A and B are shown apart, each in its own frame.
Chain A
Amino acid sequence: MEYLINLAILFGIYSMLALSLNMLIGMGGLVSLAQAAFYGIGAYATAIGMTSLGFGFFTTIILGIIINAVIAFVVGKILARFQGDYYAIVSAGLSIIVFSILQNWKSVTHGPLGIFGIGKPEIGSYAFYSNTAFLGLVAVFTVALYVLYQWINKSSFGRVLKALREDEKLTQSMGYKTKHYKSVIFVLSAALSGIAGAFFASYIAFIDPSSFQLKEGIFLFTIIIVGGLSSALGSIVGALILISLPEVLRFIGLPYETAAQLQQMIYGAMLLLMMIFKPQGLFGKYRM
């Protein structure tokens, strides 16, 4: 049971990330590979805030949200000038820059040695030391993000985003400042992924830049593609599948000499089959 609780915590963290990314890609049609960068900034804000500055966990969440929002606001202004593939390439560039900073700004991030001894959240005298309590907290934030996603999806802001996704020029011709909408959803998505980063840092208690590379951004992108674009439920189910599938494969009794390699091959093959038979994802409402 304890093992499942641990998996559920990771599932919750990745659900938050997938929801925040699906706001950007699913609703806005803005293919971003920079989510791992904002996830990392949120994690480092918590790690540095708790270990070096003596802040509480919730203060560091706010800190991470603010830092991400400021960076995303500045970068979003640049990104808003791009569309489609170019948007993805520029966002990938941001991911590489942030990774390099985390890797090389050693006086702050400790470089590849990482930061360890990150504490657990506390509210007053109550500390979320047990995994069950921690899972409860993760679940509260995941549900809150789910509700926020649905609220934005049904709002007039969400409708403009979807119109922008379908045809940016047409949306502009109707009088909407699409650059403004693209910036706002980018800032919101970045800020929310910082929350997931904070939970990740506190849960693992150790972070280093290897967890926030471009390939992590691609993994998050895979989650929402498998789950389905523009669907909150798809984000959750995508995270469930991609987090639990490799774990399930640990139990299928492969010969130990080649188990790790075979698990990777089976995992890849299952993703391939899923994309062949469900190219729009499991709950997708929009296909790229």
Chain B
Amino acid sequence: MKKWLLTLCMVLALAACKEEKKEETQANADNKPVIKIGAVLPLTGDNSVVGTAVKFGALAAIEDKAKGNLKYHYEAVFEDNQQQPAKTATATNKLIMMDKANMVLSFTTGIGRVVAPLAENAKILHMCSTLEDENATPMGKTSFFQGPTLQTYRQLVFKALQQEKVSKLALLAANVGVACSGTEKLAEALKAKGMETKVECFNPSDLDFRFVIQKYQAQGFNHFYIQFWPPQSNILLRQLSENNVTPNHIFGSGIDVDTDTSLYNGIHCFGGNSGTPEFINRLMEEYHINNVYMAASAYDLISLAIDAFENVEDVNNIDEILAYIKAYATRKCLSGDCKLLNNGFIANKAEWRTYKDGKPVFLGD
């Protein structure tokens, strides 16, 4: 028993001693100094479908940048956090203190808020691929969050609803992260524009929405706006179909992330940065992933970080890195221009698309 405990303590101690001395960089096989890009993502658990997409978006960016003539060799280190704050803290500390990561990539506003102060204390860059909370950034002086802003999103959804002549809309959202609060704000904005709206938020474990669908149908609501991730979104789509809600009466935010894209035929899908058609195809073919929104943001953020590391004199000088990033007002992102707002939020455009025979069809932005 004592031996067992002693072994555990020794393994931990050895792990702690590993690379204790901070080395500026390491050398790789090409004799280029190494820059480590750490990422804390939900690679297992409920949100792994999205976390995996972010992971591959980051890898695609490193792969593409490596085709050019770079000063450094970029190496990704991924750690699983299962989207839990405590696991995020330990994983981030491991990346910062043990792996000596030069930057950390995270995903979603809540997790970004755990990572931001840790990155700030360590004086390293932190970038977060998120949904639509532009108020998140003041949390960290070394952090940048990217996503479409709430306002951009609302305008696009309203444009789509107007075009489809929707006057009554039932909005259903998962009570997770910014999904529910964002949907409530969207409903308020639509109400202010004269639309009749009803909002209902569900716990992450809820899987039966039939009663709610029928309740709203009885009240004359035939159009539905939904903001969920799989598996809830897929179940909800099936239950809407069972209740004779036609696909063109369904408006979904970030729902089209399943590899079975035939699920989304005819549905109005909204999302953030979805990338070029080549990027979408590449994710599908190389990585078998359709969750382009988060993957594209991760791609943009890692590309930006690599540009910063390549262009500063000292990669360990966070002020230089921040100055480089803050110097641009508009930057070319995967699907158009991204704007850097005053608070450090990188706003990318929102997109509206549908699917025909499983293929995405762009409808507007």
Which residue numbers of A lie inside 8 Å of B, CB to CB? Answer: 1-4, 6-7, 10, 100, 103-104, 106, 111-114, 116-117, 200, 203-208, 210-211, 237, 240-241, 244-248, 250-251, 256, 259-261, 263-264, 282
Which residue numbers of B lie inside 8 Å of A, CB to CB? Answer: 1, 5, 8, 11-13, 15-16, 18, 20, 43-44, 76-80, 83-87, 89-91, 93-94, 97-98, 109-110, 113-114, 117, 139, 175-181, 201, 203
Contact between A204 and B180 (Cβ–Cβ < 8 Å)?
no
Contact between B90 and A260 (Cβ–Cβ < 8 Å)?
no
Minimum CB–CB distance for A212 against chain B, Å: 10
In the bound complex, what is the Cα–Cα distance between A232 and B109 (angstroms)?
A: 38
Contact between A241 and B90 (Cβ–Cβ < 8 Å)?
no
Determine the main DSSP class of B at the interface with A: helix
Select which of A2, A244, A259, A282 is within 8 A of B97 by beta carbon: A2
Scoring B15, B20, B179 by chain A CB atoms within 10 A of each residue's CB, the highest score goes to B15
Q: Given the interface contacts A244-B12, A248-B12, does A208 sit within 8 Å of B94 by beta carbon? A: no
Which residues of A lie under 8 Å from residue B43 when comparing CB positions? 259-261
Q: Given the interface contacts A103-B203, A247-B94, A264-B44, does A4 sit within 8 Å of B83 by beta carbon? A: no
> Which residue of chain B is the closest to A214 with respect to CB atoms?
B205
Contact between A205 and B5 (Cβ–Cβ < 8 Å)?
no
Determine the main DSSP class of A at the interface with B: helix
Contact between A208 and B175 (Cβ–Cβ < 8 Å)?
no
Contact between B175 and A112 (Cβ–Cβ < 8 Å)?
yes
Select which of B91, B94, B180 is within 8 A of A111 by beta carbon: B180
Select which of A7, A206, A263, A282 is within 8 A of B85 by beta carbon: A206
Contact between B84 and A211 (Cβ–Cβ < 8 Å)?
yes
Q: Given the interface contacts A204-B85, A259-B78, does A250 sit within 8 Å of B175 by beta carbon? A: no
Contact between A248 and B11 (Cβ–Cβ < 8 Å)?
yes
In the bound complex, what is the Cα–Cα distance between A206 and B177 (angstroms)?
A: 13
Which residues of B lie under 8 Å from residue A2 when comparing CB positions? 93, 97
Minimum CB–CB distance for B172 against chain A, Å: 15
Q: Given the interface contacts A204-B89, A247-B94, A250-B94, does A113 sit within 8 Å of B178 by beta carbon? A: yes
Contact between A282 and B83 (Cβ–Cβ < 8 Å)?
no
